[in-house]
Amino acid sequence: MNLLAIAQALEGNLEGDGSLTITRVSEIHSAHTGEISFIANPKYRKFSETTKASALIVSTDLDIDFPNLIRMDDPYAGMVKALYLLNHKPRVPKAGVHTTAVVASSARIAPTAEIGPYVVIGREAVIGDSTIIESHTTIGDGTRIGSDCWIHPNVSVYDGMLMGNHVEIHSGAVIGSDGFGFAPTPEGIFKIPQTGRVVIHDHVEIGAGCAIDRGTIGDTEIGESTKLDNQVHIAHNVKLGKGCLITAQVAIAGSTILGDNVQMGGQSGVIGHVHVGNRVSIATRGGVTRDVPDGEIVGGFPARSHKEFLKRDAYISKIPDLVNRIKNLEIRLKEPENE
């Protein structure tokens, strides 16, 4: 695309030569002639002096001397749009069932769906229009998958799961495994049957290596437009609201409910049977052990107000100095009084 067309698509203000042909978006320190980059953080402005990029996306108020610019209020959002324009190549389904796939005769597959090599699709499963099921993925009996979904290689979807439209699941994810339900008794440990489903709503993305357990009786639910990073564990009967962002290595224990637009930092967690309100943010490695009201920002273990967490952390950092002061005071108290 030429630079003027990109600026118009981004709804930015062009400064420079709009006739330049731009081929892709690249990082500012490794870009080449004919490519566009961006500066969302002012500390990267120094790279504008050495970059070979032909144009930059920058903020409206950034003081910079560069021949070709697209100025925007939010250059990071502009970069994302530019990625879709220039770098992103949509995965178009190649309609049909691969000759090596094993598909039950009672399964219903839309004519526009793509079923890749060595895929296994169980009895009475349903695959919607333009959905892609990539190689070595297993879809269990009675599972229903909506339209325009993309299931990457080596995904395991157990029997009876339900997915909406525009769902993307990355490699190695397991959907519908048994929850950790066991009853210790004098006679031994008895497994509690896990008989519910996993229900995944529209526009959900699930990262590589995630494990989402089926409900014990009811359903485990992933709300519309919620995004899971890699290696996230969602236990049985958990309910995630709409628009949640769950980053890597998060674990959410059974029967916990998260509201809408909750954000969880890496390696954070929530114990079972807890309610986390809407728009709550849980800091990295935060451990939630109680209900959290709407709009709270919490951190630490056990999780508490982020301001309180930072204050306690500041006090803890002063402990070595306090210990030395106490030792010095003890020494002075033990010294004989000067006559």
Rounded Cα distance, 204 and 154, in Å: 18
DSSP 46-81: GGGGT---SEEEEETT-----SSEEEES-HHHHHHH
Rounded Cα distance, 257 and 262, in Å: 11
> Residues 2, 20: contact at Cβ < 8 Å?
yes
User: Residue 148: which region, alpha, beta or left (left: phi > 0; alpha: psi -120 to 50)?
Assistant: left
Own/partner pairs for 61-67, CB < 8 Å, 24+ apart?
64/39, 67/16, 67/17
Rounded Cα distance, 141 and 199, in Å: 15
Q: Residue 77: how many CA atoms within 13 Å on its side-chain side?
A: 9
> Residues 1, 86: contact at Cβ < 8 Å?
yes
| Catalytic, out of 236, 273, 275, 306 | 236
DSSP structural state of residue 40:
S
Rounded Cα distance, 196 and 319, in Å: 50
Can you tell me which residue has the tokens 């489903």?
Answer: 197
Which stretch of DSSP H or E encloses residue 157? strand 156-157
136 is catalytic: no
Can you tell me which residue has the tokens 């049909």?
Answer: 96
Phi, psi torsion values for 139, nearest 5 degrees: -115, 120
| Cα–Cα distances in angstroms (integers) from residue 90 to residues 83, 86, 206, 327, in the given order | 12, 11, 18, 67
Rounded Cα distance, 175 and 34, in Å: 43
Residue 278's identity, in one-letter code, is N
Active centre residues (catalytic): 236
